[in-house]
Structure formats: structure tokens, C-alpha cells
């Protein structure tokens, strides 16, 4: 069985990553504590409670953004930090209540992005938002039903979820849609929200995941979804249908790890590379550390590290 040496990845992370990703790495692999991650995240939080300021390395907009705030919520979930009375969460709740304008304000791109360096997929586009904002809305729905039951928009969120479940069976879910639905339906089960056929919903999720996974390893260096984007553990509902391709990816990660580097990312800022040459390189390097941590966790969860 092919295994990856975590010391190889650790050396690169400590030499190249931001304080935030170093704290996340330490939490997962070096007995670090989650409070260090939270403290690092709070430097990216604005007075209104939302997040911007390059917490997502592909968008250098300093203003509070729905995507950047959701990016932060996902990190907090990743380290299992759920102290809802902590200032970081009190700020997020304040942002949802006063600034987000949920759900209309849950836009994937915002007009002020044009004033700051950003990847091309963050170029403001209203028609693009109509599809791609689906994943953002689903992410905030998940947070609200899991952690903000006393929100003034909780009942509105439940009504919105009912409509979103109907949309699950459409073919226009956007890039983030499948992952957003996976998280939301998991939260709905955990909170025992009645009125849904969860077996039927799980079958639809399996269909989406199976159709979304790129099954040609030679295409994985390009943008697309790999098994690890959906399957984090062997107890995943998607694992049995995709067991073989998961093992292919685990071997692929071993075989493609550079000798003195980590894996390259599979995207760039595209037409914005030339417009923001310095920032696109810096952002890309920061993203390499984020993806390296994700892949190290995937390898570890399947006993492929030493």
C-alpha cells in the first residue's frame, strides 16, 4: 500500500503557509489546539461580523462577503469549534442578522470585487450569480438550522429549505450545489427536521456525486471534482459506490507528490493573472497549502500516511 510521509508536507506548510493554515495543520497533525485556528481567523473578521480580507486567497476584497464568511464557517466546522457564544460566532450571527440580507444577499460574486485583486470566477456577474449562489444559500441554511435556531429568519429558512429540496432534482445546481446539498441534508437529519423522504434525498445525492466525479485520473490535474471532494471517510454514504476510484486517487496522490513541493492547484486566476500578476501568484501559493492539508487529511483517514 502506497503511503505519503507527513513530514514532507509539514516542512512545506511551515515554510510557505499563512499563520491560519499553519494553525490548521498543527490542529490536525501536530496536536495543536483549535483556539489558535480561531484566533488566526479573527484577523480576517470585520466590524460587522462578516469576513473578507483575503481569508479566501482568491478574493482580496476587504469587505465582508457571503462567500468569505461561508469559507470561514466551513473552517470552523472542520476543526469542530462550536462555541456559539464565542465572539467569532456572535459576529457571524450579527452579520447574518444585519448585513447579509438573507437569502437575496447570499451572492457568489459582489460588485465591489472589481476594486480588489481576485480570480476571474469572482468577477461580478448577475446571471452567473443566479446559478452559483445556490451553494452559498445552502451553506447559510445549514448554519442557521444547525447553530442559529433563535434567528429571526429561522422559520423563513425552513420554508426556503422546502423549496431548495424541490430544486435538488433539477439539473442546474451550480458548481457548489451538490456539496451544499450534502451538508444541508446531513444537518436536516441531525436536527430531525420532519417532512422529508431522506432515503429519496440520499439516492439523489448519490446520483449527483457519482455523475460529478471525474473518473479519468489523467484529468485530475485540471479543474474538476475528485472522489476526495465528496468522500472523506469510509463511512460516507458515497464510499461503496466509489471504493475503487477512491483507491485510485489515494495512489495518485502518492505518485504525483513533487519531491520538494506539494501538489499544484488545478486552477488559476485565468484572464486576471495578467491583471494581478503578483497577487495571483501569492494567492495560488496560499491555496496550495489549503489543498495540501485537505489531501493530507484524506490520506490519513484512509490510512495512507506515515
> Given a cut of 90, is residue 223 above it in pLDDT?
no
Q: Is the dihedral of CA 60, 65, 67, 69 positive or negative?
A: positive
Question: How far apart are alpha carbons 76 and 83 in whole angstroms?
Answer: 10
Each residue of 7-65: pLDDT tens digit?
999 999 999 999 999 999 999 999 999 999 999 999 999 999 999 999 999 999 999 99
pTM over 0.95? The answer is yes
What CA–CA distances, in Å, run from 260 to 16, 154, 256, 263, 296? 12, 49, 12, 10, 16
What average pLDDT score do residues 88-100 get? Answer: 98
- Cβ neighbours for 162, distance < 8 A, ≥ 6 positions apart: 195
What average pLDDT score do residues 238-244 get? Answer: 98
Amino acid at each position: 500500500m502506497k503511503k505519503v510521509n507527513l513530514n514532507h508536507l509539514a516542512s512545506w506548510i511551515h515554510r510557505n503557509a499563512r499563520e491560519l493554515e499553519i494553525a490548521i495543520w498543527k490542529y490536525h497533525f501536530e496536536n495543536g489546539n483549535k483556539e489558535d485556528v480561531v484566533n488566526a481567523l479573527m484577523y480576517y473578521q470585520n466590524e460587522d461580523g462578516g469576513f473578507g480580507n483575503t481569508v479566501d486567497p482568491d478574493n482580496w476584497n476587504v469587505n465582508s462577503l457571503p462567500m468569505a464568511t461561508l469559507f470561514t464557517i466551513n473552517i470552523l466546522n472542520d476543526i469542530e469549534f462550536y462555541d456559539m457564544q464565542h465572539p467569532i460566532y456572535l459576529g457571524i450571527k450579527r452579520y447574518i442578522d444585519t448585513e447579509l440580507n438573507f437569502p437575496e444577499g447570499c451572492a457568489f460574486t459582489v460588485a465591489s470585487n472589481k476594486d480588489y485583486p481576485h480570480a476571474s470566477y469572482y468577477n461580478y456577474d448577475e446571471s452567473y450569480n443566479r446559478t452559483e449562489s445556490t451553494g452559498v444559500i445552502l451553506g447559510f441554511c445549514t448554519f442557521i438550522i444547525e447553530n442559529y435556531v433563535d434567528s429571526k429568519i429561522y422559520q423563513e429558512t425552513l420554508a426556503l429549505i422546502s423549496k431548495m429540496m424541490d430544486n435538488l432534482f433539477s439539473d442546474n445546481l451550480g458548481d457548489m450545489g451538490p456539496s451544499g446539498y450534502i451538508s444541508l441534508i446531513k444537518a436536516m437529519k441531525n436536527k430531525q427536521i420532519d417532512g422529508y423522504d431522506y432515503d429519496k434525498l440520499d439516492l439523489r445525492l448519490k446520483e449527483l456525486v457519482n455523475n460529478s466525479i471525474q473518473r479519468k485520473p489523467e484529468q485530475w490535474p485540471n479543474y474538476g471534482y475528485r472522489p476526495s471532494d465528496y468522500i472523506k471517510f469510509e463511512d460516507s454514504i458515497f464510499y461503496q459506490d466509489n471504493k475503487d476510484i477512491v483507491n485510485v486517487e489515494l495512489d495518485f496522490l502518492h505518485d504525483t507528490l513533487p519531491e520538494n513541493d506539494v501538489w499544484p492547484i488545478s486552477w488559476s486566476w485565468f484572464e486576471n493573472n495578467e491583471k494581478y500578476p503578483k497577487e495571483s501568484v501569492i494567492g495560488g501559493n496560499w491555496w496550495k497549502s489549503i489543498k495540501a492539508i485537505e489531501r493530507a487529511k484524506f490520506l490519513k483517514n484512509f490510512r495512507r500516511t506515515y
